């Protein structure tokens, strides 16, 4: 079949086999490239939707797609998920019994399978027998998951991955797609080199995880704060990371005593216990797992609603990967970190690699970045994305800093004092010494000669603690930097000089106690008790099939059901996640449950709303232009002022964008303007017409804005 003929089948295949109606960003382009037979590298964050990128080509291409993955524990899950959607797939790894393996070989010979998942070591045997076998059965695509494992620069190097280049050759350079969630450019280049991909197309997605809300709370009474946090999230699934093995068990016990079912997980538990706990968590039998970082690599559970770090992680890479396990299903999820500076000090010992100064230096620097993140007074998402080399707006609206509105003040004089102290001390001392010096400490510690310097005691009016905060701000704003020694000293940067010369103003954050957490919990479906009933139904079905509940349907699907209340079979294809096979298999069970609920509660189906919404979505999709971006932000719940700030545009521009969507019916004007104002504007328009805004504005009360007038005109024009 030609590529364009295949192209026209993408959406129907997506709908039929996965029950989704549209592709996520980059998916379509990636799939088209793969179908055209080109080598491809895909960089997408965890939860971004990498699997579909090779699963859809696997369905559409003739022959077999071989998927190499190091995560044996995930293979069964992935294969089960495919089978539940009616796609023929199997896996081969050390967990299978010989007769099960024979069965798979038989299916392969009969050409019954579309996808085969393999551990890399499976490809390697003395006489290359397995590769020869693969050659004999028409392999059309090789997908290499977790491709960073081939690179020594990655955090997870696997020597067996090095064989993959040879295997590609042995398979006559079969088209190959490599996929990873590691963004680091060094690793990226290494993957291309080591796999010897031919003229590869590289797709880098944004690493932004829009649905994760990032926040940091002070590590004071963290247990009590944790209980509050969990109480708001009863029955939701989450992972709590702690530093030590012992605390996984302690904390799990304590939570259980306090009425939250939680199980521990760490490397030293017996395999049996580990498997049971993991399994109970995956199957939604136990909502909370308390774990060390040993937990999670092989976890694909889509409905993890929160990830809590009780202790500071050692680097941003780890933190981002761990928090990324929340919200793979795209629903709002939380990442909460408890932070105290004492953790940084404690971890300093952990990041020293004996006999390797160079690596110790790298790891120390990474820990510093983690501490800076925890202390941020600017948007956390921006910091994370910048850390991974991605641009981001100053304000995301979805982290604790953005929602807290920290007040800043002109701190130029404070900054000048600090910078000049660092300069006069010859950039040879750490923060503690600089602060003592600034405060004019009488202690022995301060060298006699330094007491003669001009800035000595210039900052006596500011407390030690506040000086720490200001110095941190200056570091963050790049007016100061730290040397990367074991005992880092403060140094000036290029930017420091314009401050010292009085050419640049420095805005510092006003000092106040960080607020303890009081954040609303994640978005809820409209019929919460139905949602709970549907979860039970899903769990029963999952038990019957012995698969994790989220493989039957994701939470996102159950939320749609409990919001739009489909009552007839024709409704189901409109619900995300209901593909053909699942409609046949589970449709009636869910419809029965919903119908019964609607009868008992005297409710009508709200499917017409969903249909209207998806029609709008389709109609407005081609506008991937500036208006669409505004609309997307608006749909995320941002106000006009916030959107203007994020996009760096005026509120007038933003409201004219929204007016466009009011006019085409995608937005209801009553969402934007209150009804009394609408009536007033409408009445004035009847008198003056809608040709010019000025006469309308003049005829109306002063407090009615041009933006509001524009929106109501759009509404009437519709
Ligand atoms: P990754 O491998 O990148 O971590 P997955 O492939 O596991 O991510 O996808 C994460 C979740 O997103 C899965 O539940 C998947 O079914 C869902 N998903 C992927 N693509 C789409 C899409 N186009 N529409 C809706 N859901 C999708
Ligand atoms: Zn933010």
Atom of ligand 1 nearest to the CA of 330: 12
Residue 299 half-sphere exposure, CB side, CA atoms within 13 Å? Answer: 33
**Tokens representing 310?**
């009780």
What's the total number of domains in the chain? Answer: 4
**Tokens representing 504?**
């640049």
Q: How far apart are CA 122 and CA 112, in angstroms?
A: 20
Q: How far apart are CA 502 and CA 478, in angstroms?
A: 16
Which residues lie closer than 8 Å to 501 by C-beta, 6 or more apart? Answer: none
Last residue of a domain, one of 144, 175, 204: 204
Class of residue 658 by CB neighbours under 10 A (exposed 0-12, middle 13-18, buried 19+): buried
Q: Are 116 and 66 in contact (CB under 8 A)?
A: yes
Q: Are 151 and 187 in contact (CB under 8 A)?
A: yes
Which ligand is closest to the CA of 77, given by its number? Answer: 1
Helices 316-323 and 357-374 cross at an angle (nearest 10°) of: 50
Is 452 within the bounds of a domain? Answer: yes
Ligand 2 midpoint to CA 396 (Å): 4
Quick one: 217 and 314 in the same domain? yes
Give bridge partners of residue 676 from the DSSP assignment.
Answer: none
CB count, 10 Å around CB of 373? 23
Quick one: 385 and 474 in the same domain? no
Ligand 2 midpoint to CA 470 (Å): 21
Atom of ligand 1 nearest to the CA of 27: 23
Which ligand is closest to the CA of 552, given by its number? Answer: 1
State residue 516's pLDDT score: 42
Residues with CB under 6 A from ligand 1: 20, 23-24, 27, 44, 46-52, 300, 302, 328-329, 554
Ligand 2 midpoint to CA 364 (Å): 26
Of all protein residues, whose CA lies closest to atom 27 belonging to ligand 1? 49
Q: Radius of gyration (Cα) for the chain, nearest Å?
A: 29
Q: Which residue has the higher pLDDT, 4 or 229?
A: 229
Is 500 within the bounds of a domain? Answer: yes
Report residue 692's pLDDT band, with 50, 70 and 90 as the boundaries: confident
- Asked if residue 83 has pLDDT above 50, the reply is yes
- Asked if residue 515 has pLDDT above 60, the reply is no
Q: Which DSSP state fits 208? A: -
Average pLDDT for 481-510: 86
Atom of ligand 1 nearest to the CA of 181: 3
Question: What string of H, E and C letters represents the secondary structure of 317-359?
Answer: HHHHHHHCCCCCCCCCEEEEEEECHHHHHHHHHHCCCCCCHHH
State residue 495's pLDDT score: 86
Of all protein residues, whose CA lies closest to atom 12 belonging to ligand 1? 49
Helices 555-564 and 528-545 cross at an angle (nearest 10°) of: 140
- Asked if residue 622 has pLDDT above 80, the reply is no
Q: How far apart are CA 229 and CA 486, in angstroms?
A: 37
Q: Specify the range with the lowest mean pLDDT, choosing from 433-437, 457-461, 619-623, 704-708.
A: 619-623
Which ligand is closest to the CA of 398, given by its number? Answer: 2
Is 601 within the bounds of a domain? Answer: yes
Quick one: 635 and 545 in the same domain? yes
Of all protein residues, whose CA lies closest to atom 24 belonging to ligand 1? 20
Atom of ligand 1 nearest to the CA of 576: 25
Last residue of a domain, one of 359, 391, 423: 391
Q: Which residue has the higher pLDDT, 653 or 29?
A: 29
Is 514 within the bounds of a domain? Answer: no
Quick one: 25 and 167 in the same domain? yes
Q: How far apart are CA 470 and CA 222, in angstroms?
A: 25
Quick one: 229 and 178 in the same domain? no
State residue 520's pLDDT score: 40
Quick one: 48 and 135 in the same domain? yes
Residue 316 half-sphere exposure, CB side, CA atoms within 13 Å? Answer: 23
Q: Which residue has the higher pLDDT, 256 or 512?
A: 256
Q: How far apart are CA 477 and CA 492, in angstroms?
A: 12
Report residue 445's pLDDT band, with 50, 70 and 90 as the boundaries: confident
- Asked if residue 609 has pLDDT above 90, the reply is no
Which ligand is closest to the CA of 380, given by its number? Answer: 2
Is 137 within the bounds of a domain? Answer: yes
Q: Specify the range with the lowest mean pLDDT, choosing from 4-13, 92-101, 319-328, 549-558.
A: 4-13
Which residues lie closer than 8 Å to 147 by C-beta, 6 or more apart? Answer: 41, 161, 178, 179, 180, 191, 195
Ligand 1 midpoint to CA 309 (Å): 25
State residue 700's pLDDT score: 87
Of all protein residues, whose CA lies closest to atom 9 belonging to ligand 1? 49
- Asked if residue 521 has pLDDT above 60, the reply is no
Q: How far apart are CA 37 and CA 1, in angstroms?
A: 13
Last residue of a domain, one of 477, 509, 541: 509
**Tokens representing 168?**
């590609």
Which helix H or strand E contains 478, and what residues bound it? none
Ligand 1 midpoint to CA 579 (Å): 14
Q: How far apart are CA 234 and CA 1, in angstroms?
A: 51
CATH code of the domain covering residue 385 = 3.40.50.300
**Tokens representing 565?**
């209340």
Q: Which residue has the higher pLDDT, 617 or 412?
A: 412
Q: How far apart are CA 335 and CA 308, in angstroms?
A: 6
Ligand 1 midpoint to CA 27 (Å): 10
Q: How far apart are CA 617 and CA 451, in angstroms?
A: 69
Atom of ligand 1 nearest to the CA of 46: 4
**Tokens representing 454?**
């001009």
> Tokens 């919903």 map to which residue?
594
**Tokens representing 705?**
């804005």
Ligand 2 midpoint to CA 398 (Å): 5
CA distances from 522 to 47, 241, 637 (A): 18, 20, 13
Q: How far apart are CA 302 and CA 437, in angstroms?
A: 53
Quick one: 62 and 100 in the same domain? yes
Quick one: 281 and 380 in the same domain? yes
Query: For the chain, what is the mean pLDDT?
Result: 87
Of all protein residues, whose CA lies closest to atom 20 belonging to ligand 1? 49
Which ligand is closest to the CA of 82, given by its number? Answer: 1
Ligand 2 midpoint to CA 407 (Å): 15
Q: Which residue has the higher pLDDT, 618 or 471?
A: 471
Is 698 within the bounds of a domain? Answer: yes
Report residue 514's pLDDT band, with 50, 70 and 90 as the boundaries: very low
Is 350 within the bounds of a domain? Answer: no
Which helix H or strand E contains 435, and what residues bound it? helix 431-438
Of all protein residues, whose CA lies closest to atom 15 belonging to ligand 1? 49
**Among 532-536, 687-691, 704-708, which range has the highest average pLDDT?**
532-536
Ligand 2 midpoint to CA 395 (Å): 5
Quick one: 387 and 455 in the same domain? no
Is 366 within the bounds of a domain? Answer: no
Ligand 2 midpoint to CA 43 (Å): 23
Q: Are 211 and 279 in contact (CB under 8 A)?
A: no
Which ligand is closest to the CA of 302, given by its number? Answer: 1
- Asked if residue 85 has pLDDT above 90, the reply is yes
Atom of ligand 1 nearest to the CA of 14: 23
Which ligand is closest to the CA of 21, given by its number? Answer: 1
Q: Are 234 and 531 in contact (CB under 8 A)?
A: no
State residue 491's pLDDT score: 93
Quick one: 191 and 218 in the same domain? no
Query: How remote is the C-alpha of 403 from its chain's centroid?
Result: 18
State residue 153's pLDDT score: 64
Atom of ligand 1 nearest to the CA of 44: 3
Of all protein residues, whose CA lies closest to atom 14 belonging to ligand 1? 329
Determine the 3-state secondary structure of 591 from DSSP: helix
Of all protein residues, whose CA lies closest to atom 10 belonging to ligand 1? 47
Ligand 1 midpoint to CA 329 (Å): 7
CATH code of the domain covering residue 481 = 1.10.10.10
Determine the 3-state secondary structure of 480 from DSSP: strand
State residue 105's pLDDT score: 94
Report residue 147's pLDDT band, with 50, 70 and 90 as the boundaries: very high
CA distances from 387 to 313, 320, 370 (A): 15, 10, 10
Q: Specify the range with the lowest mean pLDDT, choosing from 43-47, 262-266, 404-408.
A: 404-408
State residue 624's pLDDT score: 46
- Asked if residue 53 has pLDDT above 60, the reply is yes
- Asked if residue 228 has pLDDT above 90, the reply is yes
Ligand 2 midpoint to CA 404 (Å): 10
Class of residue 563 by CB neighbours under 10 A (exposed 0-12, middle 13-18, buried 19+): middle
Report residue 621's pLDDT band, with 50, 70 and 90 as the boundaries: very low
Average pLDDT for 507-522: 54
Determine the 3-state secondary structure of 258 from DSSP: coil
Q: How far apart are CA 497 and CA 479, in angstroms?
A: 9
Atom of ligand 1 nearest to the CA of 45: 3
CB count, 10 Å around CB of 461? 9
Of all protein residues, whose CA lies closest to atom 16 belonging to ligand 1? 49
Which ligand is closest to the CA of 303, given by its number? Answer: 1
- Asked if residue 310 has pLDDT above 90, the reply is yes
Q: Which residues span the domain enclosing 25?
A: 3-204
Report residue 625's pLDDT band, with 50, 70 and 90 as the boundaries: low
Ligand 2 midpoint to CA 401 (Å): 6
Pairing verdict, β 507-509 and 408-410: antiparallel
Which residues lie closer than 8 Å to 633 by C-beta, 6 or more apart? Answer: 642, 643, 646, 647
Ligand 1 midpoint to CA 43 (Å): 14
Of all protein residues, whose CA lies closest to atom 25 belonging to ligand 1? 20
Atom of ligand 1 nearest to the CA of 50: 3
The proportion of the chain whose per-residue pLDDT surpasses 70, expressed as a percent, equals 94
Q: Is 21 left (phi over 0), alpha (psi -120 to 50) or beta?
A: alpha
State residue 1's pLDDT score: 60
Q: Give the closest residue to 649 by CA, choosing from 620, 629, 671, 622.
A: 629
Report residue 527's pLDDT band, with 50, 70 and 90 as the boundaries: confident
Report residue 667's pLDDT band, with 50, 70 and 90 as the boundaries: confident
Q: What is the DSSP string of 486-508?
A: SS--EEE-HHHHHHHTT-S--EE
Give bridge partners of residue 517 from the DSSP assignment.
Answer: none
pTM, two decimal places: 0.65
Question: What string of H, E and C letters represents the secondary structure of 53-121?
Answer: HHHHHHHHCCCEEEEECCCHHHHHHHHHHHHHCCCCEEEECCCCCHHHHHHHHHHHHCCCCCEEEECHH
Q: Is 565 left (phi over 0), alpha (psi -120 to 50) or beta?
A: left
Quick one: 199 and 227 in the same domain? no
Query: How remote is the C-alpha of 658 from its chain's centroid?
Result: 27
Which helix H or strand E contains 214, and what residues bound it? strand 212-218
Q: Are 315 and 366 in contact (CB under 8 A)?
A: yes
> Tokens 């760490």 map to which residue?
266
Which ligand is closest to the CA of 379, given by its number? Answer: 2
Quick one: 183 and 244 in the same domain? no
Pocket test for ligand 1, best of 10, 21, 23, 52 (most atoms within 8 A of CB): 52
- Asked if residue 60 has pLDDT above 90, the reply is yes
Pairing verdict, β 176-180 and 237-241: unpaired
Report residue 512's pLDDT band, with 50, 70 and 90 as the boundaries: low
Ligand 2 midpoint to CA 381 (Å): 5
Report residue 334's pLDDT band, with 50, 70 and 90 as the boundaries: very high
Ligand 2 midpoint to CA 377 (Å): 10
Q: How far apart are CA 309 and CA 328, in angstroms?
A: 18
Which helix H or strand E contains 17, and what residues bound it? none
Class of residue 622 by CB neighbours under 10 A (exposed 0-12, middle 13-18, buried 19+): exposed
- Asked if residue 113 has pLDDT above 90, the reply is yes
Atom of ligand 1 nearest to the CA of 18: 16
CA distances from 568 to 52, 573, 587, 602, 692 (A): 29, 10, 9, 16, 49
Ligand 2 midpoint to CA 205 (Å): 19
């Amino acid at each position: 079949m030609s590529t364009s003929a295949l192209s026209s089948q993408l959406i129907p295949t997506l709908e039929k086999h996965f029950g989704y109606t549209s592709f996520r960003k980059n998916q379509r382009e990636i799939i088209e490239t793969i179908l055209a037979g080109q080598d491809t590298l895909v960089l997408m964050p965890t939860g971004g939707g990498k699997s579909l990128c090779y699963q859809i080509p696997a369905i559409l291409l003739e022959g077999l797609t071989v998927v190499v993955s190091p995560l044996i524990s995930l293979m069964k899950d992935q294969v089960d998920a495919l089978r539940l959607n009616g796609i023929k797939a199997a896996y081969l790894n050390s967990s299978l019994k010989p007769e099960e393996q024979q069965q798979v070989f038989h299916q392969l010979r009969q050409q019954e399978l579309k996808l085969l998942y393999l551990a890399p070591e499976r490809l390697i045997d003395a006489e290359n027998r397995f590769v020869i076998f693969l050659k004999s059965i028409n392999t059309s695509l090789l997908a290499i998951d977790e491709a960073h494992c081939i690179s020594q620069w990655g955090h997870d190097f696997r020597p067996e991955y090095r064989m993959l280049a040879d295997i590609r050759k042995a398979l006559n350079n079969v088209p190959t797609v490599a996929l990873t969630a590691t963004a680091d450019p060094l690793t990226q280049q290494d993957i291309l080199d080591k796999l010897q991909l031919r003229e590869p197309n590289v797709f880098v997605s944004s690493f932004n995880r829009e649905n994760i809300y990032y926040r940091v709370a002070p590590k004071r009474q963290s247990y009590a704060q944790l209980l509050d946090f969990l109480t708001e999230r009863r029955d939701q699934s989450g992972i709590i990371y702690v530093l030590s093995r012992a605390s996984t068990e302690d904390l799990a016990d304590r939570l259980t005593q306090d009425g939250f079912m939680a199980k521990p997980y760490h490397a030293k538990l017996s395999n049996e216990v580990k498997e049971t706990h993991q399994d109970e968590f995956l199957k939604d039998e136990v909502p909370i797992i308390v774990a060390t970082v040993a937990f999670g690599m092989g976890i694909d559970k889509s409905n993890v609603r929160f990830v809590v770090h009780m202790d500071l992680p050692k680097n941003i890479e780890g933190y981002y990967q761990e928090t990324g396990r929340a919200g793979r299903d795209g629903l709002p999820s939380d990442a909460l970190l408890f932070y105290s500076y004492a953790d940084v000090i404690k971890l300093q010992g952990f990041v020293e690699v004996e006999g390797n100064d160079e690596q110790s230096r790298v790891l120390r620097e990474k820990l510093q970045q983690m501490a800076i993140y925890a202390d941020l007074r600017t948007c956390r998402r921006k910091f994370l994305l910048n850390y991974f080399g991605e641009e981001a707006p100053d304000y995301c609206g979805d982290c604790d800093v953005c929602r807290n509105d920290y007040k800043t003040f002109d701190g130029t004089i404070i900054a000048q004092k600090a910078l000049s102290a660092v300069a006069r001390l010859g950039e040879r001392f750490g923060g503690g010494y600089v602060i003592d010096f600034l405060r004019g400490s009488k202690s022995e510690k301060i060298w006699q000669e330094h007491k003669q310097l001009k800035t000595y005691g210039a900052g006596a009016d500011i407390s030690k603690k506040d000086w720490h905060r200001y110095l941190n701000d200056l570091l963050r704003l790049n007016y100061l930097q730290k040397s990367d020694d074991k005992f880092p000293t403060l140094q000036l940067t290029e930017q420091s000089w314009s401050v010292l010369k009085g050419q640049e103003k420095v805005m510092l954050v006003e000092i106040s106690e960080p607020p303890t957490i009081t954040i609303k919990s994640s978005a809820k479906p409209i019929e919460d008790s139905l949602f709970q009933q549907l979860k039970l139904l899903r769990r029963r079905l999952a038990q019957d099939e012995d698969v994790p509940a989220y493989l039957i349907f994701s939470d996102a699907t159950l939320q749609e059901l409990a919001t739009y209340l489909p009552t007839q079979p024709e409704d189901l294809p409109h619900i995300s996640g209901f593909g053909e096979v699942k409609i046949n298999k589970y449709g009636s069970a869910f419809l029965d449950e919903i119908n019964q609920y609607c009868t008992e509660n005297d409710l009508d189906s709200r499917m017409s709303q969903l249909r209207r919404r998806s029609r709008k979505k389709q109609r407005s999709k081609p506008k991937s232009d500036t208006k669409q971006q505004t609309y997307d932000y608006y749909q995320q719940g941002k106000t006009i002022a916030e959107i203007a700030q994020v996009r760096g545009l005026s509120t007038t521009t933003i409201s004219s964008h929204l007016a466009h969507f009011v006019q085409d019916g995608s937005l209801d004007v009553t969402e934007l303007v209150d009804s009394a104002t609408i009536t007033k504007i409408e009445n004035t328009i009847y008198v003056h017409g809608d040709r010019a805004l000025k006469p309308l504005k003049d005829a109306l009360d002063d407090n009615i804005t041009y933006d509001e007038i524009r929106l109501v005109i759009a509404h009437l024009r519709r």
